């Protein structure tokens, strides 16, 4: 977790006469730490996400500052601050133009401002922000998974501005299907989500759950939720186009006491997204699946499926047939024999004979409405089991 550049700038402009010269488009960049660097050759040791200070002590060439900025950008730095004085009296126009082009905030501070005071202050702010967000995550997880601690943890959330009547939306992200290098890719995806979310509302809440990653959006309006999902998806596609992600989105539900069930909605929707090979599945749009997922005793669903489809499934296995596939296509095409024959490249009479065979095996008539409903429901159950 990190803090946005614009939050540090808000404090720095008042306390340290910090001025923004270029890169306004990058004020939502995240800062993980702060460094003072004078030798451009050590820039390669940065991890990314740093706010870098320099006085330009080695600034003895006309293009030094530009090359310094370029190296910072390649290393993933979030912003740079130049201490104007005897070593760097002004910022070249080429540097200002470059920082604007790449959206890397470029700040200046006067010589009388001590960099050591600023860096110490900013580091403390970063650590306090991280501690606050960790406390929020811990409190929310206790509310979700340890209901006995709920009241004390709700009181803790109030200290950070969240009320018992706040709205919560959970997004469950499947990361188990990521290509080799899952840990690195998972960190990238989390960083993208954090930057996207913090540009809308702070703080950003995320935590791992089993093999998945959970994002929590608190007090978001519907349009803000849509904006987060759209921008996050687009940025993942831009930075990691080979990744296939599946997300489940819960209801945007009011009331901290009701969130355990809402959390499960996100997980259920994500499972459906995986089964359908879709990027996003919204629980509120799952239709009949919502009712099936709400049933805690899944053995009831398994028994129902076995009673309706068990014999047909066994027949297909024993005889190497595809009658279940024929039945699904028939139901998905509103009982049209013509469409089934076209999709299976078979004669219409062959389809009719297959459906009659299904009736013989199951004792249910695919041509009658009541039995059709039973077949429909059993296929829905198969999708979630």
Q: Rounded CA gap, 231 and 229, in Å? A: 6
Residue 116: CB partners within 8 Å, gap ≥ 6? 36
How many residues belong to the chain? Answer: 385
**Tens-place pLDDT, residues 349-384:** 888 888 898 888 889 898 888 888 888 888 888 877
CA distance linking residue 286 with residue 303, whole number of Å: 22
In sequence order, the β-bridge partners of residue 107 are 20, 81
Q: Which of these ranges, 1-10, 29-38, 153-162, 264-273, has the smallest mean pLDDT?
A: 153-162
CB-CB contact of 225 with 217 (8 Å): yes
Whether the predicted pLDDT of 176 surpasses 60 = no
Structure confidence at residue 201 (pLDDT): 83
Is residue 66 over pLDDT 90? yes
State residue 184's pLDDT score: 64
pLDDT tens digit string along 310-325?
A: 898 898 899 999 888 8
Compute the distance between CA of residue 84 and CA of residue 75 in angstroms, rounded to an integer. 23
* Candidate ranges 5-9, 304-308, 376-380; pick with highest mean pLDDT: 5-9
Q: Residue range 88-109: average pLDDT?
A: 96
- The reported pLDDT for the residue numbered 143 is 87
Residue 368 near residue 359, CB atoms below 8 Å: no
Between residues 141 and 289, the one the model is more confident about: 141
Looking at the chain, the whole-number percentage of residues with pLDDT higher than 90 is 45
pTM: 0.76
Q: How confident is the model at residue 163 (pLDDT cuts 50, 70, 90)?
A: confident
Pick from 95, 110, 107, 106: which is nearest to 62 by CA? 95
Query: Each residue of 232-258: pLDDT tens digit?
Result: 999 998 988 888 889 999 999 998 888
Q: How far is CA 252 from the centre of its chain?
A: 16
Q: What angle do CA 187, 192, 195 make, to 5 degrees?
A: 120
């Amino acid at each position: 977790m990190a803090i946005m550049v614009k939050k540090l700038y808000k404090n720095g402009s008042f306390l340290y006469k910090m001025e923004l010269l270029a890169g306004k488009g990058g004020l939502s960049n995240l800062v993980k730490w702060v460094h003072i660097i004078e030798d451009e050759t050590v820039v390669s040791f940065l991890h990314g996400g740093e706010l870098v200070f320099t006085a330009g002590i080695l600034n003895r060439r006309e293009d030094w500052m530009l090359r310094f900025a370029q190296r910072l950008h390649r290393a993933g730095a979030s912003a740079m601050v130049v201490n104007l004085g005897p070593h760097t009296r002004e910022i070249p126009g080429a540097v200002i133009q470059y920082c604007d082009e790449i959206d890397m905030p470029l700040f200046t501070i006067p010589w009388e401002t001590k960099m050591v005071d600023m860096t110490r202050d900013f580091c403390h702010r970063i650590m306090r922000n991280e501690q606050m967000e960790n406390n929020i995550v811990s409190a929310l997880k206790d509310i979700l998974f340890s209901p006995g601690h709920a009241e004390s943890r709700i009181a803790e959330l109030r200290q950070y501005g969240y009320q018992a009547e706040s709205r919560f939306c959970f997004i469950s992200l499947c990361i188990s299907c990521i290509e080799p290098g899952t840990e690195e890719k998972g960190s990238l995806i989390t960083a993208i989500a954090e930057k996207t979310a913090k540009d809308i509302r702070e703080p950003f809440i995320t935590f791992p759950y089993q093999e998945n990653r959970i994002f929590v959006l608190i007090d978001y309006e519907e349009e803000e939720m849509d904006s987060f999902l759209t921008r996050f998806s687009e940025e993942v596609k831009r930075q990691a186009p080979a990744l296939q992600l599946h997300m489940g989105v819960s209801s945007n539900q009011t009331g901290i006491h009701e969130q355990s069930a809402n959390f499960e909605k996100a997980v259920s929707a994500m499972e459906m997204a995986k089964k359908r090979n879709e990027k996003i599945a919204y629980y509120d749009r799952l239709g009949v699946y919502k009712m099936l997922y709400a049933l805690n005793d899944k053995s009831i669903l398994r028994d129902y499926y076995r009673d309706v489809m068990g014999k047909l499934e066994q027949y297909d296995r024993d005889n190497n047939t595809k009658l279940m596939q024929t039945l699904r296509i028939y139901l998905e095409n509103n009982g049209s024999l013509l469409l089934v024959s076209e999709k299976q490249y078979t004669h219409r009479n062959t389809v009719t004979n297959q459906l009659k065979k299904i009736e013989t095996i199951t004792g249910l008539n695919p041509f009658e409405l009541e039995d059709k409903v039973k077949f429909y429901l059993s296929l829905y159950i198969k999708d979630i089991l």
